[in-house]
Amino acid sequence: MASGDAAAGRRGNGRMLEERTRLLREVRACGTLPRHVAIIMDGNGRWAERAGLPRLEGHRAGVEAVRETVRLAGEIPLEVLTLFAFSTENWSRPAAEVAGLMGLLELSLRREREELHRNGVRLRVVGERGSLPHAVRREIERTEEHLAGNRGLLLCLAVNYSGRSEITRAMRMLAERVREGQLDPGAIQEETVGGFLDTAGLPDPDLLIRTSGEQRVSNFLLWQLAYTELWVTPVLWPDFTPHDLLRGILEYQQRERRFGRVAVPAQEGALRG
Ligand code: FPP
């Protein structure tokens, strides 16, 4: 790069940083931070196709967007950030892509563990981990253990996750308790069901972000999204920047959450979870 270009690059980066700081200040000033943001990270494949690259390169570029997003989520600060990393339906993709995605998960957990720890992040994984490759399960367990004592952002990764399957597994456990006489069917409340889900103990997402313009929930957190605000951006996941996350939150802060009733200020809704 010529020295003039490098200087222009630095000026550009400086402007980006200024804009990030300005947006972050604006989000904090609004005083209505979401507790839990969930993201469907979509568009890696299209990003790669547009760049004339193999699909896996799109996922690789997506990991960079994950890193930036997690860093910012802790800074805002959010309590919980849930990322849809691999759906149960994703197993039907070409074997090389599945293997590539599993490899990226394994590598990312191993590489990022120390930085996550320095930033006080904890990890929780939702979904059926039993059928994940051994190496991925091992990195998940090591990372969970390593970060267990932290008190900052809870990073929740949905891996081999499907909302219907999560609810079905919860129903099986409930039925088992009823059969063993430990649970009276008449005493089952919404909280009882929530307590059997993979996300037990977490507040429901306040905001769901989906990238790449698709307007679907795609079997993600079906129970938990009941009153979640949705924000869809056309940006493809590898191009998703901290600015986009902050803009999504600013948009959320303008919404009026009614929970099926009359107007409730967004902050009150967020506090209720
Ligand atoms: C959807 O894009 C994205 C995925 C199926 C995987 C998301 C995974 C990552 C961002 C990398 C690993 C994650 C972590 C947490 C380290 P798509 O392939 O469906 O895109 P398309 O709709 O354009 O084909």
The pLDDT tens digits of the residues spanning 180-202 come to: 999 999 999 999 999 999 999 99
- What's the pLDDT at 262? 78
**In sequence order, what DSSP letters do the residues of the chain get, joined into one string?**
--HHHHHHHHHHHHHHHHHHHHHHHHHHHH----SEEEEE---HHHHHHHTT--HHHHHHHHHHHHHHHHHHHHHTT-SEEEEEEEEGGGGGS-HHHHHHHHHHHHHHHHHHHHHHHHTT-EEEEES-GGGS-HHHHHHHHHHHHHHTT--S-EEEEEEEE-HHHHHHHHHHHHHHHHHTTSS-GGG--HHHHHHHSTTTTSPPPSEEEE-TT----TTSSTTTTTT-EEEE--S-GGG--HHHHHHHHHHHHH--B-TTSS-B-HHHHHHH-
Average pLDDT (125-139) is: 97
Catalytic machinery residues: 42, 90
Ligand 1 atom having least distance to the Cα of 83: 15
Q: Model confidence over 57-67: pLDDT tens digits?
A: 999 999 999 99
Look at ligand 1, atom 10, and give the residue with the nearest C-alpha.
Answer: 62
Which residue out of 39, 40, 42, 111 has the highest number of ligand 1 atoms within 8 Å of its CB and is therefore the one to mutate?
42
Q: What is the pLDDT of residue 272?
A: 41
The mean pLDDT value for 134-150 works out to: 98
User: What is the CA(162)–ligand 1 centre distance, in A?
Assistant: 15
What confidence tier does 235 reach under pLDDT thresholds 50, 70, 90?
A: very high
% pLDDT > 90, the chain: 88
pLDDT-based confidence at 9, cuts 50/70/90? low
Pocket of ligand 1 (CB under 6 A): 41-46, 59, 62-63, 66, 83, 85, 90, 101, 104-105, 108, 157, 212, 237
- Best substitution site from 40, 59, 66, 162 to test ligand 1's pocket, by max atoms within 8 Å of Cβ? 59
Q: Whose CA is nearest to atom 5 of ligand 1?
A: 86
135 has pLDDT over 70: yes
Q: Examine the pLDDT at 139 and tell me if it is beyond 70.
A: yes
Mind listing the domains of the chain with CATH numbers?
Answer: 32-162+205-254 (3.40.1180.10)
Ligand 1 centroid to Cα of residue 8, in Å, is 32
Whether the predicted pLDDT of 95 surpasses 90: yes
pLDDT at 1 over 50: no
Identify which of 39, 40, 44, 209 to mutate to test ligand 1's pocket (most ligand atoms within 8 A of the CB): 44
- 204-216 average pLDDT score: 98
pTM of full prediction above 0.75: yes
Q: How far is the CA of 86 from the centre of ligand 1 (A)?
A: 7
User: Does the structure show a pLDDT above 50 at 11?
Assistant: yes
Minimum CA distance residue for ligand 1 atom 13: 85
> Whose CA is closest to atom 15 on ligand 1?
85
Index of the ligand 1 atom closest to the CA of residue 105:
16
